A = this chain, B = another copy of it.
């Protein structure tokens, strides 16, 4: 009792406000249990004038991040400004002084994880980042502690709320991608510039972090195959429904005989799978552990309150460790082998949904089947939908058995070159989970 630890916050936006609010509202209560006082001493933000609805002493606020970084009384720095710079410089500066750091910055960790964890280990501090993946779901703690003794075999995540919201609305209420995106923006579930989300890049950053914790792999998002949901159309959604699947943007990692796979793309998954029932802006991670078997973790992946809780729970843990004199555990997060080489996307083996627009005339299906067969792709089922809809062409849907991505790409290129095929062929990967 009587012990005290000071934290400083850099970045007083939505999450920063939530962190300050949670600490004001509840820290008395939870600190009583822990037997020490955790104080938010200083908050830095370029804009300290904006009203945040919080009753804070004026001297607590500063526009100078250095006032937080250089305060010797501040032992834990919370970085919530996001982006690569100056966040990276600030976090390194804090770590180099032996401070611990809590961050929600997925881009930073995905890109510079090795550098940051090395700095933390070297200077005896910790770097905590629960808030960087799946907001309020304590998935990193689960992987790092509860499943530390297990070996994760595969992981499938719905890690991006915006795209899940869009896909849910498209499936449940109809509407085209562009329309639903606009609704999502109006409802506050998509940003004005939704590129990071819809392109899959946001999910890839989070997957890079999960790979580090769950697979001991050091991978940047650029090393992964990443495909967004921009090309998912009404026909795909309706076909999926008809075939007993749902379309989700999945971040996937698997241990295979050839190494670790990591990729982000829309996938058809069986409607009965738990991940297919994850609706709206919610996040979920399904994983299979060698010992624990399948597990699913579900909750809100973003928002002021869930994310603030993740930040403050990290803060309490780091404060407690410092007071107990525990050493840095950052070394556990460094891959000894350096950067991990992923299985090339071309070698990934999956079943596929393939939709073509082909002329409705004898021999066309045979021609396509022959061509698929030449690329080593066998057909599981074919649906030809109705009669000629567009200049004598009809949609033909083929579900394939497992095939390599390379074979599929060659096949599609050849199919699209056929004179009887009238539009770019759509391909969606299938994950049976």
Contacts and interface: CB of A to CB of B under 8 A. Distances in A.
Given A145-B141, A147-B313, A313-B145, A296 B296 contact: yes
B146 A332 contact: no
B149 A138 contact: no
A150 interface: yes
A291 B274 contact: no
A316 interface: yes
A291 B277 contact: no
Interface string A17-49: 000001000100010011100000000000000
Interface stretch (A261-269, A319-327, A345-353): A319-327
Interface stretch (A159-167, A242-250, A298-306): A298-306
B324 A305 contact: no
Contacts of A300: 292-295
A114 interface: no
Contacts of A34: 332
A295 B145 contact: no
A25 B228 CA distance: 40
Interface in A263-318: 272, 274, 277, 289, 291-300, 303, 305-306, 308-310, 312-313, 316-317
Interface in A322-357: 324-327, 331-332
Given A326-B324, A332-B33, A148 B313 contact: yes
A329 to B, nearest CB: 8
A298 B293 CA distance: 11
Chain copies in complex: 2
A182 interface: no
Interface in A179-197: none
A75 interface: no
A94 B130 CA distance: 35
B274 A293 contact: no
A214 B305 CA distance: 18
Interface string A122-147: 00000000100001111001100111
A336 to B, nearest CB: 9
Contact of A26 (B151, B277, B309): B151
A354 to B, nearest CB: 30
Contacts of A317: 145
B295 A298 contact: yes
A142 B138 contact: yes
Nearest to A29: B151
A149 B26 contact: yes
A27 B307 CA distance: 34
Nearest to A315: B149
Contacts of A142: 138, 141-142, 146
A272 B277 CA distance: 8
Contacts of A146: 130, 138, 141-142, 310, 313
B305 A293 contact: yes
B22 A309 contact: no
A200 B296 CA distance: 24
B291 A308 contact: yes
A148 B295 contact: no
Contact of A325 (B136, B324, B332): B324
A197 to B, nearest CB: 20
A289 B309 CA distance: 10
Nearest to A333: B33
A228 to B, nearest CB: 26
20 contacts: A22-B149, A136-B292, A136-B295, A137-B295, A138-B142, A141-B145, A141-B146, A145-B317, A146-B310, A149-B309, A149-B316, A272-B277, A274-B277, A292-B299, A292-B306, A294-B300, A295-B297, A324-B324, A324-B326, A324-B327
Given A141-B145, A149-B312, A297-B298, 7 more contacts: A22-B149, A33-B332, A147-B313, A274-B277, A291-B305, A294-B299, A298-B298
Closest 5 CB pairs of A and B: A138-B146, A136-B292, A295-B299, A296-B298, A291-B309
